[in-house]
Amino acid sequence: MDFMDISKMRVTVRKFAQMPVEQEKIEKILEAGQWAPTAVNYQPQRVLVLNTLENLEKVKSFCTFNYDKKYADLAEECDDKEHGKNVYYYGAPLVLFVSYDETVCWHHPQSGKSSGVTDATIVATHMMLEAASLGLGTVWISYFDENKAKKLLNLPENWQPVCMLYVGYPAEDFKPNPNISGKRFPIEKTCFYNDIPQNVKDGADYGEL
Ligand SMILES: Cc1cc2nc3c(=O)[nH]c(=O)nc-3n(C[C@H](O)[C@H](O)[C@H](O)COP(=O)(O)O)c2cc1C
């Protein structure tokens, strides 16, 4: 499939089939991440593959928060009103936990800023798009308790969590979110040639999608 087609057909999946992801596909996804560019090619990304029941239970426990109506429509199964919780797990059979090693990544000589988050994010993006090209669904997860995750997964102190990618086959009754997936602002609202229109500089209200 052409890259543009993959970019456009990928949507966030928040309901996974209870079916494992084949080992060959896991390896291809990891390989796509391996070839991502990183600052000075330092490759500080550290990807932990989680696909045992024990580890998936740990994931469930660090992506569970007190019930918040604002996020309840992210997926019907995360809306656990009975127990006053939102569980952002979605039944994923495979979780790629993406961190970077802060002792390895490049630091900007002037500002001292670390490139770790950027590097790990590019790696995760490569993996997400490779998964899509293999017919798998993904959701990028930033909302989890990083400290709890670090502890439960026994991450080394110098590994900084960045995101998780849930990967799996979409459930049979999965439907993309009609208010979001496949919808983007017109390109002239986010990309500009040479000059930036004044109303954009002023922080124009882009309104509804
Ligand atoms: C940096 C980032 C953080 C995200 N965090 C979460 C998250 O914590 N939980 C979740 O359900 N979705 C999360 N998403 C998924 C976005 O909500 C989703 O990609 C976006 O609404 C666009 O929808 P689409 O992926 O179907 O095009 C995240 C996506 C990105 C890129």
Distance CA 164, CA 60 (A): 12
Residue 23: what pLDDT? Answer: 98
Ligand 1 close to Cβ of residue 129 (< 6 A): no
Residues in contact with 138: Cβ distance below 8 Å, sequence separation at least 6, in sequence order:
10, 12, 13, 128, 131, 132, 165, 166, 167
Tell me the domain boundaries of the chain: 3-176
Amino acid 204: pLDDT: 76
Query: What's the pLDDT score for residue 76?
Result: 67
* pLDDT, position 206: 82
Distance 44 CA to ligand 1 centre (A): 23
pLDDT of residue 207: 82
Q: What pLDDT is stored for residue 61 in this prediction?
A: 93
Interval between CA 110 and ligand 1 midpoint (Å)? 32
Atom of ligand 1 minimally distant from the CA of 11: 26
Select 3-176's CATH number: 3.90.245.10, 3.40.109.10, 3.10.300.10, 3.10.180.10. 3.40.109.10
Any ligand 1 atom below 6 A from CB of 88: yes
Per-residue pLDDT of the chain (209 residues; tens, 9 = 90+): 899 999 999 999 999 999 999 999 999 999 999 999 999 999 999 999 999 999 999 999 999 998 888 887 776 667 777 788 889 999 999 999 999 999 999 999 999 999 999 999 999 999 999 999 999 999 999 999 999 999 999 999 999 999 999 999 999 999 998 888 989 999 999 999 999 999 899 987 788 88
Residue 174, SS3 per DSSP: coil
Residues 41 and 199: their CA atoms lie apart, in Å, by 39
